[in-house]
Amino acid sequence: MERLFVVQKHRASALHYDFRLEAGGVLVSWAVPKGPSLDPKVKRLAMAVEDHPLDYARFEGVIPEGEYGGGTVMVWDIGTYRLEDDETFDEAMRKGRVVFTLNGKKLKGGWVLVRTRGRQWLLMKRKDRYASSTVDIAKTKPRSVLTRRLLAGIARDEGGEVAKAATGDPA
C-alpha cells in the first residue's frame, strides 16, 4: 500500500529538513539537520519530533517567529512510499527499523530509518540505481517541488525574514 511522504526544508532556529511519513492518519516526523543523502555510506541523524496532521504535507510559507518552528518552510520533495517488510508501520517503529521505498519527485528507491537510542534515528539510502556518492541532492535540487521557489523567495512572498531564509539557499 502506498502512502504519502513529504520532505520540508525548514529554516527555523537552524536549517533542517523535516522528513515525514504518513502512518495512522498523521505524518510521523523526523528532523534531519543535514538533509537526506543519496550516498548509501552516509548516515544522517534524524531526530524524531511530534507527529503532524496530514494536511500539513503541502504547507509552504512562513511560521511566525516566536511560534513553535518559527521560520520559512518549503515543500522540498513529496510523493508516495511503501514499506518493504511484511510488518506494519507500528511494528517497524517498535523494532526501531523502518525499511521503505520512496517514489518522490527528487528522492526515489530504497531507504531505511534505524533507531539508535531514544528519539535518535539514522536515515540512510539503500544501494540501488538511485544511489549516488557524487550528487549532493540538497545542493543540486534546492527548489520547492510545488512552486520552484527558493527559501528566500518563499520568505519574500509570505512576509518572512528574507535574509535568514536565504541562509538555507545555495550560495
- Cα Rg of the chain, angstroms: 15
Q: Give the C-alpha separation, 122 to 132, whole Å.
A: 18
How many beta carbons lie within 10 A of that of residue 14, not counting itself? 11
pLDDT in tens, 113-153: 999 999 999 999 999 999 999 999 999 999 999 999 999 99
pLDDT at 171 exceeding the cut of 80: no
Distance CA 103, CA 91 (A): 22
Interval 80-94 mean pLDDT? 95
Distance of CA 158 to the CA centre of its chain: 21
Over the stretch 21-34, which tens digit does the pLDDT of each residue have?
999 999 999 999 99
